[in-house]
Structures are given as structure tokens and as C-alpha cells.
Structure 1
């Protein structure tokens, strides 16, 4: 049985292009996570061994790196069906009803995530134009944080929009035109539940 978190093969060119963008973003998310770990180790070492902590580490991590790690990982996680999903009953639906309900859900998600993307862009633009900065030891510009949110959420919006269109198209097609998640694995594994 295919692992639910295994990479999903794109069903068409649009999905393949989105998957390439998502791969770049998940790579950047991983780099942000590695940078957080490295900075924390250096900061703790300097703080407790040399009594000379980094004055900028928490603001850099909180303002840029944590946001990059989170927002840039969202689209790839959706592409690989890694978000929490209540999919116990979904396989029981007839194929066309499954695509219709999924399509409608992704349509609503596209609108919601699109609104968040537009708000992030508006905040990034204003912060850039007015040169907004944090009032800390290092006056980091705030537009970068909003830009990271905007890039991640816009890519997530595109993936949701793709799924909306192709789930609805699959209602009228004899085959699935969108990647489907693997069915839930309900088999008991050795070592689970005290066995």
C-alpha cells in the first residue's frame, strides 16, 4: 500500500509546474529550520560558555525564519496530502460525489486562502513603501516577513484552485483528473496499542 505521505505524482502539466515550485519552497523551509537550529546552538553556546549571547537571534528567528519554515511548507504539504483530513467516510462516497464534495471544499479554501494572500501582499507592500522596521537591537525590515507569508499562501491558493477546477472536471470525466490521497491505512501495525 502506498504511504499517504509519499510524494504524489502530478497528473498533468499544471500540477507538475506547481509541484516544482512547491519543491523549491519546501527546500527553503528546510533551510530555515536548519538555520533556526544552528542559530539556537550558537546562541546557547555563546550565552552559557562565553556570557555573550547573540542580541539579534530571537528577533531573526521570530520575524523571518519561523514564518519561512511554516508558510513555505504549506503548499508542498497539501500537494502530498499531509494536512489533517477527516477522510474516514470519503472512500465510501461514489466517485462523482467524492469529486463534487472535494471540489466544493477546495473552492471555499481557494477563496479563503486567496484573501489571506491578498492581505499579506498588501501588508508587505505597505511595509516596504513605508520602510517599517522592528524596534529592536537590529532594525529588521518587516516587509520580508509579510512577503514570506504571501509567497507561501499564494502558492497554496494556486494548489487549492487547481484542485477545485480539476475535482469539478473529474465529476464529468470517466477518470480522476486530480491527484487523490491514498486510502486511510487502518491496519494494526506491530507494536501499536501494546501488542
Structure 2
């Protein structure tokens, strides 16, 4: 396999630096998830016990917190090979072909995600300069939602770009220069649910 690495161990300093940024973002994502749960519990309790729901909870959750949970976790999920991957034929490909196809795929993804990042930054800037706000009880500014999208997508763009370059470089190297997922566990499962 060209030297399978320890699970989640960075291949180099660039990956380690990206990993530290992703750790911060996944921490913020986790805090946003906890905040959603706390706000919903408080809102439900106030709604049914005191008949006084929080008027701002749904707009805060929908505008900021859901975006933080989703976008800030994307790059960390990719780093840990947590996205869906159709890798049925990957183990059967010769190592250089495997790296070439993955490098090209990550290269195309990098371009697509870079466009999304640029659009997010542009929308965040425009919303900030025009002081764009939602028409709700609390007029939350919209630029923060766009900034969350842009931050998550920028980090994902860096991770994809890193993988594209190092997969392509691995074509010409005798070893894997980028993290590769652990081989699939194909052992027969005997427990009730495959555990």
C-alpha cells in the first residue's frame, strides 16, 4: 500500500498546521451544537411551563448555529476521512493511478470549493458594508452567517488543495506523501449488528 500511516497522524507540518486549525473549528462547531440543544430545551420549557417561548431562538439557530455546526466541521471530517467515499475499486488500482485519480479529483474539488469560498467572502463583505439584517424580533446581522460559510469552506479548500498537490506528488514518489485512509475492514462480522 505504500506505507499506511497511523490513523489521524499528520503526514507533514502543513497537514499538522491545518489539523490545528480544524481542531479549533470543530470545537466551535461542537459548542454551536451544544448551544442549539440548550436553547431548544430552554425554549420548550419556557413555552410549555410558562407559556413564554423565546422569540429569537429559531432565527438564531437557523441563521448562525446550524451554519457553524455544518460548515466549521467539513474540513475536520475530510481530514479524518469521515466523508462518504465510494472506494470499492480503489484498492485494486495500482498505487500511481490511485494517487493520480485522487489528485485530479481533489484538484477539481479545490477549484469548486474556492469559488464557493470567494462567493461567501463576497456576500459577507457586502452584507457587512450594507448592514444587512434579518426582519425578525431581533434583527441579527447576516454577514456572520456568510462569514461562517466562508471560514468553513476556506479551510476545506486548503485541505483539498493540500491533498491534490500531495496526491499528485505521490505519483512520482516511492511512498505516500499524503494521509491515506486505513484499508477497509473486510473481516466477517458475527455479532447481531455487525459489531
TM-score range, shorter chain: over 0.9
Q: Secondary structure at the match of 2:127?
A: helix
1:52 is aligned to: 52
C-alpha separation in 1, matches of 2:149 and 2:111: 16
- The CA RMSD over aligned residues, in Å, is 1.3
Partner of 1:151: 151
Please list the CA deviations of residues 90-135 of structure 1 after superposition, one character each: whole Å capped at 9, or x if unmatched: 0111111000000000000000011000000000000000000000
Runs of 4+ in structure 1 deviating by more than 4 angstroms, as ranges, are: none
Q: Structure 1: 5+ residue runs without aligned partners?
A: 1-5
Q: TM-score, normalised by structure 1?
A: 0.94
Paired with 2:118 and 2:41, the residues of 1 have a C-alpha distance of: 36
Mapping of residues 123-134 of structure 1, within 5 Å: 123-134=123-134
Give matches, 1:38-49, under 5 Å: 38-49=38-49
Q: Alignment partner of 2:134: what SS?
A: coil
**Where does residue 72 of structure 1 map in the other structure?**
72
Q: Tell me the alpha carbon deviations over residues 140-195 of structure 1, each in whole angstroms, 9 at most, x when there is no partner.
A: 000000000000000000000000000000000010000000112222321137x9
User: Take 2:174 and 2:129, find their aligned partners in 1: how far apart are those partners?
Assistant: 51
Correspondence for 2:136 = 136
| Cα deviation, residue 7, structure 1 | 5.4
TM-score by length of 2: 0.94
Matched, 1:99 2:99: yes
Residue 193 (structure 2) aligns with: 192
The answer to whether the 8 A contact 2:43-2:53 is kept is yes
Corresponding residue of 2:3: none
Tell whether the 8 Å contact from 1:110 to 1:161 is kept in structure 2 after alignment. Answer: yes
